[in-house]
Amino acid sequence: MTKTLILFDVDGTLTPSRLTVSDNMLTILKQLRQVENFTIGIVGGSDLIKQKEQLGEENLRLFDYVFSENGLYASYMGKLLEKTSIASEMGEDNIKKLVNASMKYMANLDIPVKRGTFIEFRNGMINLCPVGRSCSQEERMESYKYDLEHNIRKNMVTALSEELKDLNLTFSIGGQISIDVFPKGWDKTYCLKFVEDKFDTIHFFGDKTYPGGNDYEIFNDNRVIGHTVTSPEDTISQLCEFLQ
Give me the active site residues, please.
Answer: 9, 11
Cα–Cα distance for residue pair 139/84, rounded to 1 Å: 33
User: What's at 137, amino acid-wise?
Assistant: Q
Question: Which burial class, exposed, middle or buried, applies to 131 when counting CB atoms under 10 A from its CB (0-12, 13-18, 19+)?
Answer: buried
Where are any strands of DSSP class E within the chain? 4-8, 38-43, 65-68, 73-76, 79-83, 119-121, 126-128, 169-174, 178-183, 201-206, 225-228
Nearest to 177 by CA among 208, 211, 202, 209: 208
Contact 215, 230 (CB under 8 A): no
Residue 171 pairs with which residues in a beta bridge? Answer: 181
Contact 5, 33 (CB under 8 A): no
